[in-house]
Structure 1
Amino acid sequence: MANTRQARKRIRRNNRRAEINGARMTRIRGFVKKVEAAVEGGDKKVAAEALRAAQPELARGVARGVLHKNTASRKLSRLSKRVAAL
């Protein structure tokens, strides 16, 4: 257990940040899944729209420090390759 006031405050802060970051990751995953579902459905127009919506979400995740830059880039690259293959 934390012994100092500062350590107790850090625990509270870390819990709050973990909740916010978890919500951000869930939101990003939802956008990515929409693209994947559209690709599975075979509808290129819907998949392209979903990809356009997912791009800024991934970039926002990088800006907020929830995702690593290369991870977002890799996900975006793989998704766009799948959409282009339709």
Structure 2
Amino acid sequence: MPTTYTGPGTLALPDEDGVTAVPVYVSLSTDPVTGEWRGTITPYDPLPLTHEPVELTLPGGTPTPAHLLEGAGLEIYGTGTPPWQ
């Protein structure tokens, strides 16, 4: 199984009207020690930030629960099966 993914995705963000789907470009990898997957997100349009859990969907995949972090850029992380597998 690949341990990285770079390409398009859709981020589902909770908001006061329900959920907003935002197209993004992601670069993800799996930590070989912890098994946690993480990476960076580049939104194509302005992204409303949230501290609530989000869902990342990659082309042909199913929604995967994740969390966002602000740092040098916008980061995303999750546990369990990575969204590209």
Q: Do both proteins adopt the same fold according to a TM-score greater than 0.5, normalized to the shorter chain?
A: no
Which structure carries more helix by proportion?
1
Which structure carries more strand by proportion?
2
TM-score by length of 2: 0.22
